[in-house]
Amino acid sequence: MRKAILFVTFLFVSAFLLLGVAEMRPFGQPAVADMDDYFITNAQGEVAVNNVVTAVVFDYRGFDTLGEATVLFAAVVGILALFRKPKEDER
Partner 1 sequence: MSNHGMSVIVRTVTRFVYGLIILFGFYVIMHGHLTPGGGFQGGAVVASAFALLLVAFGSAGLKGRLNLHWLQSIEEVGALAFLALAFLGIGTAFFYNLLANSGGFLFGASVPAGANAGVLNAGGTVPLMNWAVGLKVMTGIAAVAITMLIGSKKEETE
Q: Kindly list the residues in this chain that would bind partner 1 in the complex (CB under 8 A).
A: 44-51, 53-55, 57-59, 62-63, 65-66, 68-69, 72-73, 75-76, 79-80, 82-85
Nearer to partner 1, 6 or 76 (CB): 76
- CA pair distance 38, 52, nearest whole angstrom: 11
22 close to 34: Cβ distance less than 8 angstroms: no
Look at the alpha carbons of 56, 61, 63, 68 in this order and tell me if their dihedral is positive or negative: negative
Residue 44 CB, shortest distance to partner 1, in Å, is 5
Nearer to partner 1, 10 or 78 (CB): 78
Residue 88 CB, shortest distance to partner 1, in Å, is 14
**What end-to-end distance do the CA atoms of the chain give, in Å?**
54
- CA pair distance 14, 18, nearest whole angstrom: 6
Nearer to partner 1, 9 or 54 (CB): 54
